[in-house]
Chain A
Amino acid sequence: MVAANELIGGVLAKRPVAPTGVVGWITTIDHKRIGILYGVTAFIFFILGGIEAFLMRIQLASADSSLVSPEVYNQMFTMHGTTMIFLVVMPMGAAFFNFVIPLMIGARDVAFPRLNAFSYWTFLFGAILLNISFLTGGAPNVGWFGYSPLTDNIYSGGSGVDYWILGLQVLGVSSLAAAFNFIVTIVNMRAPGMSMMKLPVFAWMTLIVSFLLVLAFPVLTVAITLLLFDRLFGTTFFDVSAGANPLIWQHFFWAFGHPEVYILILPAMGIVSEVLPVFSKKPLFGYTVVVFSGVLIGFMGWGVWSHHMFTVGLGPIANSAFALITMFIAVPTGIKIFNWIATMWGGSIKFSTPMLFAIGFITMFIIGGLSGVMHAVAPSDTQQSDTYFIVAHLHYVLFGGSIFGLFAGIYYWWPKITGKMMSELLGKVQFWLFFIGMNITFFPMHFLGMDGMPRRIVTYAGESGWEFWNAFSTAGVFLIGLSIVVFIHNVIYTARNGKKAGNDPWDARTLEWSISSPPPEYNFVEIPTVKDKDAFWDEKYSQGPDGRPIPKVQGAAEVAVKEKEHNIHMPTPSYYPVLLSVGITLIAGGLVSHLSVSIIGGILALFAVYSWAFEPATAPDAPASSEKEGAY
């Protein structure tokens, strides 16, 4: 086997030792490049999911409209939800995990660089598998939580649901691999002196998210596997006529789905916890409390899933218990909000674009959080369930929360990623368009929901009186679209005219700002030693008697380290991660198309696994990294 691999590997794929161009990107195992790949891909899917949303809003702008057929409309809301959750917010979070975490904790890369590349490619191919259903006779049209028995063969005959299942299955492999990687990286690769309670909050939130992924995703894996067996192999897991209880799908789905909600919001909370102190010139208020609130949310997130199911008739005892835990989970969340406000209190606040998005996050998340507490009250939720009130709530949390937090991260770390400052003016224009557009789009949905407009309807009668607010809401979408155009313009403008960022444009607090922008391939010439929280701030400032920071004079230490640049051996790029991703995706794709595709995929995956296992992490003939500074 080994000899065969060496033979085939030697002929087919000589190891890419120092590749450039497209091959360089395909075989890269550099966490920074993988982070960029994640970010760009997620942004493209953000546009796609936005177009799906736009089509829905255009259809709903007027009563009795027939621009979009019901079939297409159902596909739109299913794919919009699935795309935004699995292909936008999660990978955009992963983009920051990848780019920032090793820099923040003073590491040269993640613990498993090739596994990291595998996560990205598997995500990309899973996303393509999910979306390819548009071309093969209809995308999934059962809602993003695919309630049984709607997903059975009888009600969903085509292959759309199969693509949905298999796409999610492949995406799950990607998420799990990434989560394992980041747990090991954060637990094991911290710079000397960086104890867990000196870890930046963003790294803490990444760790919690990774644990949630590790524990929540297998539940979804099992649920969709059961569904797949029902559809393809004649089992009866969700078949009522065989005595099954389709409610079990809902329990499994939400036992995954509610931790998933925290998987989506905690990265944004982590980003905001990094941005606020930098632009307030104050340390984060109550670091320990913020960290433990995050941990508590991670735990309690497991005990609230049935609040998605208050109307299915679980009975008063179950409903009361889940209502109580749901209300309790607002406590750690509220604590975080108060800590963020206290961080800004008395600080010298600078309203740069990242700060605006961070403050936008807090305000919008408070609104979404408050309607969340309303849903925790089971009797009140009975009125709101499956209405536009829910749509309003979830968009305030996911759009006003996650997306705002992620944009704060994009603006905050852009100088570090590209080495250039984004235009502040364009950034502020984008923020206000985004902020106003978002509120115009989603706030009226509260009124519509209270007035009884159900979600997921393709149209409504003119006499319902819902037309005004729907038209109003659709108008907001244009502002959001415009703001995205401004953002893209800002990106292009910055690439051409952006001024150089330097190492530390924001006078920031964490280690990623202590190195050049963009960072060299090996990140740190010498791994830093950490003495306290806000490790980089400590290097720059000491505390005066009045509590104000006093700049330290830069010592000779910086000059000295330049001499030691040699002998940094980074892991070598590899073909096998992407090959394994292709293999796994073909296995999944073959189950809906043709079994021979699965078999080819299986052989490919097997070849990739064995070649990978016997390939050393660093090729013996690879050059040391000292001369490849700042190269993507």
Chain B
Amino acid sequence: MAANTHPPEHHTSTGLNHRKLLMWTFLGSECLFFGTLIANHMINRNKAAFIHDLPPSCILDIPITSVSTFVLLMSSVAMVLGVAAAERADVKQMRIWILATAVLGIIFLLFQVYEFQAFVNEGLTIGTNLFGSTFFILTGFHGAHVTLGVIWLLSLLVTSYKRNDLLVGNPLNVDIAGLYWHFVDIVWIVIFTVVYLVGAIGLTCTEVGL
């Protein structure tokens, strides 16, 4: 026992790797973080003042956001392929799919920048009303999580050129980033459903046609 204490993968009581378990508990914490932000939006969105005499939810552009949601979903597919390549120690494929995941994440973020810009042009800022406050803080924090994920993935990509030994034979380093990425993706699916789709139920946004 004593001689066996410093290989990279420790023996664990459950057989789960320490770092992977840590990531799962962290994601559990994140569930409550986003859960509270989503609850905050749902409680407050119908209390907001109207913009241009229309309910504020009318400002949401479901077709465009569907496209960005699709992009983010596809990034998760790329992530799965990246993790699989890392587990096969296929460095070339791993780099391709990690890069693809990051690029799709960046495209999603650009959609979000476009969306925020459009809303500000329509007159909805974070200080306009409760809808704006709760919407921007929720999607803003999600965007910050995506940004962090992109930085993480790009760091892995650079690492694969400089310190390949940290990734080849250690697929866990990619796997854990993948867990985080999928979580952020799943949170977006909840946000898209609750904020965009459920928020549109029973809305009449005709007249001005925002």
Contact = CB atoms under 8 A, between A and B. Distances in A.
Interface in B31-68: 32-33, 36-37, 40, 43-44, 47-49
B193 interface: no
A180 B21 CA distance: 9
* Chain A interface, >50% SS class: helix
B29 A215 contact: yes
A215 B12 CA distance: 24
Nearest to A110: B18
A237 B14 contact: no
B33 A218 contact: yes
Nearest to A606: B151
B121 interface: no
A218 B32 contact: yes
Interface string B160-171: 001100100000
Contacts of B21: 183-184, 187-188
A243 B133 contact: no
A217 B32 CA distance: 9
Contact of A1 (B13, B43, B155): B155
B125 to A, nearest CB: 9
A226 B40 contact: yes
A234 B36 CA distance: 20
Contacts of A183: 21, 25
A217 B29 contact: yes
Contact of B126 (A217, A225, A233): A233
B22 interface: yes
Contact of B44 (A188, A234, A237): A237
B2 A567 contact: yes
B16 to A, nearest CB: 7
A242 interface: yes
Contacts of B159: 2
A629 to B, nearest CB: 15
A194 B37 CA distance: 40
Contact of A223 (B14, B36, B162): B36
Most chain A CB within a 10 A radius of its CB, from B2, B30, B40: B2
Given A183-B25, A226-B40, A242 B2 contact: no
Contacts of B37: 222
Contacts of B25: 179-180, 183-184, 214
B14 A187 contact: yes
Nearest to B128: A236
Interface residues of B, number: 40
A2 B28 contact: no
Contact of A226 (B18, B26, B137): B137
A413 B108 CA distance: 54
Contacts of B43: 245, 248
Contacts of B36: 218-219, 222-223, 252, 255
Contacts of B13: 187-190, 194
B23 to A, nearest CB: 9
Nearest to B44: A244
Contact of B2 (A216, A236, A568): A568
B126 A219 contact: no
A242 B134 CA distance: 13
A565 B3 CA distance: 9
B3 A526 contact: no
A237 B126 CA distance: 10
A2 B155 CA distance: 10
A1 B44 contact: no
A500 B49 CA distance: 72
27 contacts: A1-B162, A2-B158, A2-B162, A108-B5, A111-B18, A111-B22, A180-B26, A183-B21, A187-B13, A187-B14, A187-B21, A188-B21, A214-B28, A216-B32, A219-B36, A222-B33, A222-B40, A235-B133, A237-B134, A243-B49, A244-B44, A248-B43, A248-B44, A526-B1, A526-B2, A564-B2, A568-B5
Interface of B: 1-3, 5-6, 12-14, 16, 18, 21-22, 25-26, 28-30, 32-33, 36-37, 40, 43-44, 47-49, 126-127, 129-130, 133-134, 137, 155, 158-159, 162-163, 166
Given A2-B159, A112-B18, A237-B130, 19 more contacts: A1-B158, A187-B13, A188-B14, A189-B13, A225-B137, A229-B126, A235-B126, A237-B133, A243-B47, A243-B129, A245-B44, A248-B44, A526-B1, A526-B2, A527-B1, A567-B5, A568-B2, A569-B5, A613-B155
